[in-house]
Amino acid sequence: MPETLAMPPLAATQGGLRRRLSNLLYQRRNLTLLLLLTPPLLWFGVVYVGSLLTLLVQSVFTFDDLAMSVTPELTSQNFQDLLVAANLDIVLRTLSMAMAVTLGTVVLGFPMAYYMAHYARGWEKGFFYVGVMLPMWASYIVKAYAWTVLLAQGGVVYWVLDHLGLRGVLQAVLNIPAIGGETLATSNLGRFLVFTYIWLPFMVLPIQAAIERVPGNLLLASADLGAKPWQTFRTVLWPLAFPGVVAGSIFTFSLTLGDYIIPQLVGPSGLYIGSMVYTLQGTIGNLPMAAAFTCVPIVLITLYLGVARRLGAFNAL
Amino acid sequence: MRFKSAHLLRAAAYAGLAFLHLPLLFIVVYAFNSDDGGYSFPLRGLTLRWFARAWEREDILQAISLSMGVAAMATLVAMVLGTMTAAALNRDRFFGKDGFTTLLILPIALPGIVTGLALLAAFKLMDVNPGFWTIAVGHATFCVVVVHNNVVARLRRLPARLVEASMDLGADTLTTLRYIILPQLGTALLAGGILAFALSVDELIVTTFTSGSEKTLPLWLLNQLSRPREVAVTNVVAMAVMLLTMPLILLAWRLTRDTDTSPGAQ
């Protein structure tokens, strides 16, 4: 320990008040706990929970379409409106993208995570870890912006596809109704690509942590006993890594469900839950309906977290 | 068979890594694009002109200073509150411990629109004008958990006998806190603060709801996407944002790595 941190003269020789305070803090552990917890509890209780409650209360307020104003008359109209076909459509569109993105990140992320956990050694391990962590922390809007530049017609992606002679293949894929579109930048495929890119690190790291805990000799034993690589993967590795997959999916699922920037920048028109909330509160000022809409992701994620807890994902976080 | 599949796996892993980095690389390349409009590739020429233009733009400098101010304030609050929650939750079980942990995670577990809209609803109710302080309050709320995670991880590894030895030698609680616990927490606290700062500088979704007409750096960038004014300058700012946060993230990583070797841990 450096010199500057050397102990002061024996504390017993110091002033009485300080000694008494110190003893009190040591003997009354509950008092210390209370002192430690009060400021954060106040912050979270007042600022955060208070805001959430305000939001929930707003969701049963009445919005007057003509006067464009909110009145505190209680109504269940907002929640009934959620069940209108157009709104259910928005929920389903967002939900299916969230599931597709989750699947996409697992398919891309699992091999990376497995390689990081079981093959990479020494410098390569650190290299991969930093390599996944840096894009994860890099600015979200910069990453989204990068893709609008890359996907633009005449941009990098089209240039590469042209030089590989794959333009025809892309056009064929873009002609498929549900995933295609006019161009890559206005298709669901493009939107899926950007979402998958941005949330991929959030999937890789939990899987890597889960696989890290799987003893390597389990896999060797499986191979020794005659299992084919695919069998080992299916019966040994995947079940043991699964909590990590679920942990990662909490992020990819929740983040896609609430996002409204990417749907606005890339892909076909058609609202997402996030963009609907943003539009309702912003241009129209219908805060009650926006509040009702935010209950959809809250409920979905609560359900999802409940399932995830049962699947043991919380131990893998 | 095994040999072959290992090569395949390595290829897949490196391909994934390349996928994660190529878009970031192109942001850097485009910042030097001499073409002042389009996104056409390959570039026709390179220039440093846009860096000078960006430096002259009043709105960019304002966005930077707002982002820095908000991040500093949010980090300060998060470091104080996060250290307190870490110290409290590292101790014995108590009633409501699990609930409190959930409360800490909630601002990042729930989608940003929920947090954002909730804060906006509350601010509107209290007739608070959105601006610097409302942004900072929002950011501080979700930054607490970052500091908390870093500090609690270090506290768990802090050997109890260091504290006991200090007490045995006659140091009181406050002296032990000052000379034993805080120095041990130093780098974890710093790393948590850096990550909170980086998180705040990058946050967009909560900020859109709490900022009113103020523009943080990410909001400025988002605005450029719908109403571009000098596309080429946007590329420079995007690169600057990235190059600003990356060393911070690396530093935070360095600070929390190898913490098992802290004195007395063996």
The pTM (predicted TM-score) of the whole model is: 0.86
Contact yes or no for A146 and B23 at CB 8 A: yes
Q: Give chain B's largest Cα–Cα span.
A: 73
Cβ-Cβ contacts under 8 Å for A238 (sequence gap 6 or more): none
Q: How confident is the model at residue A12 (pLDDT cuts 50, 70, 90)?
A: very low
- Chain B partners of A211 at a C-beta cutoff of 8 Å? none
CB pairs under 8 A between A and B: 261
- The ipTM estimated for the assembled molecules is 0.85
Residue positions counted in chain B: 266
Q: List residues bridging with A311 in a β-sheet.
A: none
Q: Which of B39, B149, B164 to mutate to test the interface with A (most CBs of A within 10 A)?
A: B39
More confident of the two residues A125 and B47: A125
Report the half-sphere exposure of A15 (CA within 13 A, side-chain side): 4
pLDDT digits (tens, 9 = 90+) for A38-50: 899 899 988 899 9
What letter would DSSP give residue B169? Answer: T
What letter would DSSP give residue A48? Answer: I
Residue of B nearest to A41 (CA): B100
Rounded CA-CA distance B42/A191 in Å is: 24
Rounded CA-CA distance A277/B34 in Å is: 39
Rounded CA-CA distance B122/A287 in Å is: 11
Contact yes or no for A301 and B110 at CB 8 A: yes
Q: How confident is the model at residue A112 (pLDDT cuts 50, 70, 90)?
A: very high
Amino acid A154 reads: G
CB A42 within 8 A of CB B144: no
The token duo for B236 is: 């420079």
CB-based burial of residue A268 (10 Å sphere; 0-12 exposed, 13-18 middle, 19+ buried)? middle
**E strand spans, A222-271:** none
**E strand spans, A14-112:** 62-64, 69-71
CB B208 within 8 A of CB A278: yes
Phi, psi of A62, deg, nearest 5: -100, 135
CB A203 within 8 A of CB A252: yes
Choose among A1, A133, A139: nearest Cβ to B263.
A1
Which percentage of chain A shows pLDDT scores above 70?
92
- Chain B partners of A279 at a C-beta cutoff of 8 Å? none
More confident of the two residues B46 and A260: A260
Q: How confident is the model at residue A11 (pLDDT cuts 50, 70, 90)?
A: very low
Q: For every residue of B142-187, which 3-state class applies, written as one string?
A: HHHHHHHHHHHHHHHHCCHHHHHHHHHCCCCHHHHHHHHHHHHHHH
Rounded CA-CA distance B94/B131 in Å is: 38
What mean pLDDT comes out for the span A207-224? Answer: 87
Q: Which of B77, B113, B211, B262 to mutate to test the interface with A (most CBs of A within 10 A)?
A: B113
- Chain A partners of B81 at a C-beta cutoff of 8 Å? 39-40, 43
Cβ-Cβ contacts under 8 Å for A276 (sequence gap 6 or more): A87, A90, A290, A293
For residue A15, the SS3 value is: coil
Report the half-sphere exposure of A88 (CA within 13 A, side-chain side): 4
Contact yes or no for B114 and A297 at CB 8 A: yes
pLDDT at A283 over 80: no
What letter would DSSP give residue A11? Answer: G
Rounded CA-CA distance A108/A47 in Å is: 39
pLDDT at A15 over 90: no
At B213 the pLDDT is 85
Phi, psi of A71, deg, nearest 5: -120, 145
CB B181 within 8 A of CB B158: yes
pLDDT digits (tens, 9 = 90+) for A150-191: 888 878 888 888 888 888 888 888 888 888 788 888 889 999
Per-residue pLDDT for chain B (266 aa), expressed as one digit of tens each?
Answer: 454 678 888 899 999 999 999 999 988 888 887 777 667 777 777 777 777 777 878 888 899 999 999 999 999 999 999 999 988 888 767 777 778 888 888 888 788 889 999 999 899 888 888 889 999 999 999 999 999 988 988 888 888 788 788 878 877 777 787 888 888 888 899 999 999 999 999 899 899 998 888 889 999 989 888 877 777 788 888 888 888 888 888 888 888 876 544 444 43
At A2 the pLDDT is 47
Closest CA to B258 of B196, B199, B195, B188: B188
Amino acid B233 reads: V
Rounded CA-CA distance A109/B69 in Å is: 36
Rounded CA-CA distance B60/B174 in Å is: 46
Residue positions counted in chain A: 317
Contact yes or no for B17 and A43 at CB 8 A: no
CA trace torsion B92, B94, B99, B100 (10° rounding):
-60
pLDDT at A4 over 60: no
Count of C-beta atoms within a 10 Å radius of residue B240: 17
At B6 the pLDDT is 80
Rounded CA-CA distance B244/B95 in Å is: 42
Count of C-beta atoms within a 10 Å radius of residue B58: 7
